[in-house]
Structure 1
Amino acid sequence: MKNPWKKISDKEIYDNPWIKVEEHQIINPSGNEGIYGKVHFKNKALGIVPLDDELNTWLVGQYRYTLDEYTWEIPMGGGLIDVDVLESAKRELKEETGLVAASWQNILRIHTSNSVTDEEGFVFVAKDLTQGETAFDDTEDLKIRKLKLSEAVRLVMSNEITDSLSIAGLLKTKLLLDEGKL
């Protein structure tokens, strides 16, 4: 499909190690001039649904500065754009839970908020798990919770899990299990 938007110019407004914010002068699909803000993420969003033989999973709890609230999420983090997403997911799972998985399945590609950002995310199911030691980043003060996948899905349905990558990953994992595809 042909792009109905026309970019006249763009300029960088802000840049840090994680994001870059741009302002674009545009002509919109109706032919009117305007501006569009774009947040470019310098990492890919990665989420992991660890799953053992008894259909237990692990959630990570932490205080999210941007939300000013404590949240429960699947293990997740950022992977550098030029690094294989699976390698980054393996690193994140080990860092946040201490788990190492022998079996990995990429179940989801997602755009996290496509009206303002180009961020791309991926969710993996990790199986055949071995417990090891965590290796939290210095910005992380995490709590780890092991629970049944069905309980995690219940937390999604009761709005106790609100992170979009976690919601999408947990629900898709449950659907794939129900269909016999995991």
Structure 2
Amino acid sequence: MDKPRPRHQTRRLPLIIERPDLAHPLRRVLALFATSLAWLLWLAMWIPFLAALGRHLGYPLPAIAFPSQVSLDSFFALLRIGPYVVGCAVAVVALSYLREKTRPVRTDERWRPIGMARLATGAALDPDRLAEWQTAQILYVAHGPHGRVSSASSASSTAPRPPLQATS
């Protein structure tokens, strides 16, 4: 009686990422084709940089494969400022860590443990009545006209008396 009843559970198929064999074969072929095309484009974008690096290292590459020196110059500029950027990032992380460790600990009143007195105050009861509620196995509550509990004092661990019926 005190356990919820089992709900109707629908059977779900596993996700396509877990079981790719459930996907339509045409969809799987198109996904493979799009992935291969994206990888080829990504590799093709490295060609100018690799050609510039090769010419810089002294390999005689044709000028057609190497239209400009911009990509290589940009790379070397990044290499020159890289240690400073990494140093600043490490300094920011270290300062953030130190600030977090040296910050005074503030206790928030909303997150303190709830005691019996605070719970009784929230339920508008005296702590003795709350202890009686907690030890009761059955709690009888009087409901108002809209189905809500009318007041905190309307709950009791003793059964209410049935109304007297008029005899005629």
| Length-normalised TM-score, structure 1 | 0.18
Greater per-residue helix proportion = 2
Q: Which has the larger radius of gyration?
A: 2
